[in-house]
Amino acid sequence: MDLSHFDSNNSVSCRLASQVPDVCRTEDCCLGIDEAGRGPVLGPMVYGICFCPVSKKGELKDLKVADSKTLTEEERENLFEKIDEANSFVGWALQILSPNTISTSMLQRTKYNLNALSHDTAIGLVQYALDSGVQLKEVFVDTVGPAEKYEDKLSKLFPGIEVTVRPKADSLFPVVSAASICAKVARDRAVKGWNFQEDLGEVDADYGSGYPGDPKTKAWLQKYLDPVFGYPQFVRFSWSTAKILMDNKGVAVHWDDDEEDGEKAAQRKNNKSMLSYFSASAGGNTQNPTPQTHRFFTERRLKNLDTL
């Protein structure tokens, strides 16, 4: 697995893939999808797919792939080597979603939530396998959100493929386990050798697991908070852990799509209360006594100054 491409620009999404084994283009195949790094506030989220001919499911099982969560890091690395070596019949592909991609998706004007992002990434990877000529017949997915809805969505998108969405699919189907190992290994490697784009000098790499509950992660987040910029791109800004810290310790930043309390916003926007239209005195007071600035200036937001 060569992560150098991602390391060189880890602010965007990046795809890594193995060679597609020839048998996968001729024989009916099954495919597993799983993700790693959904919860952490630090680092990328990685989506992985693994595929092999339906007839070789047994051989995949023989590799003793199991749910990545039950394995140590070393075991995972070893298993990944085995999967990669079995390139005569097993193929894999990964989509690394950088923390920056996650932040900007979730915090953009039209919100794009993590579930939608996850679904679209999974769909993209299945499409990649199809485009590469893999004869897909079965797809197994560990669920994100309600399983039935997700299964329905995928079935509609890929007619002719039997889609199975199950919670804990990574311990039920070897092909999903294999995908989960690929994803987890990629995530571990990406986080370990994180190449900070920001000029931070020597960065303390002791950030723990990256999960919001980890005391090491919390301490690291406290340490690397910049009052103006917040965090390096390594941090998912959209996580409430990061948000709360920035709100408390950073400089207040106002955006024009900030949601404000109704009354405050109304006051700021110079809106009048609906009630004012019904009161007796409203008629006389609505006329603004100060002369209106010409629209040439108001349209361009230009004003006179009276002091510097």
Partner 1 sequence: MATKKKRTQSAHTDSWVVMAADSAIDTQKDDSDPAFVRLRNPSTDAASLYLLGSGDVQLFEVKVFEEEFHSWFVGQTVQRDGRLMFVTPMDPLYLILPYLIKSDKEGKFQPMDQVVMDEEFPACSRLLSCTCSLTSLHHVAEEKEVGDLKFHRYSQEKTLNWLKRKVERTVTALKKRHISVGEGVKSSTYVRVKSESDYNEEDYLRYAHGLISEYISEDLSKALLSHLQLPELTSPKETEPPSKKRKLSDNPVEAGEDYTKFNSADFTRKPPKKMTTAQKTLAKVDKSGMKPMSSFFSPKVKAENK
Report the interface residues with partner 1, using CB under 8 A: 228, 254-256, 264, 267-268, 270, 291, 293-297, 299-308
- Least Å from the CB of residue 290 to partner 1: 8
Query: Would you say 10 and 119 are in contact if contact means Cβ atoms under 8 Å apart?
Result: no
Q: Which is nearer to partner 1, 74 or 259 (CB)?
A: 259
Q: Which is nearer to partner 1, 156 or 303 (CB)?
A: 303
- Least Å from the CB of residue 306 to partner 1: 5
Q: How far apart are CA 186 and CA 191, in angstroms?
A: 9
Q: Which is nearer to partner 1, 4 or 292 (CB)?
A: 292
Closest CA to 37 of 9, 63, 78, 68: 68
- Least Å from the CB of residue 237 to partner 1: 18
State yes or no: 142 annotated in a binding site: yes
- Least Å from the CB of residue 291 to partner 1: 7
Burial letters 75-86, b for 16+ CB under 10 A, else e: ebbebbebbeeb
CA atoms within 13 A on the CB side of 290: 2
State yes or no: 131 annotated in a binding site: no
Closest CA to 224 of 126, 84, 233: 233
Closest CA to 167 of 137, 144, 197: 144
- Least Å from the CB of residue 108 to partner 1: 16
Q: Which is nearer to partner 1, 145 or 250 (CB)?
A: 250
Q: How far apart are CA 269 and CA 161, in angstroms?
A: 53
The encoded tokens of residue 152 equal 């329905």
Burial of 57 (0-12, 13-18, 19+ CB in 10 A): middle
Q: Which is nearer to partner 1, 248 or 307 (CB)?
A: 307
State yes or no: 35 annotated in a binding site: yes
The encoded tokens of residue 197 equal 């784009």
User: Binding site membership: which residues?
Assistant: 34-35, 142
**Which residues carry a binding-site annotation for a divalent metal cation?**
34-35, 142
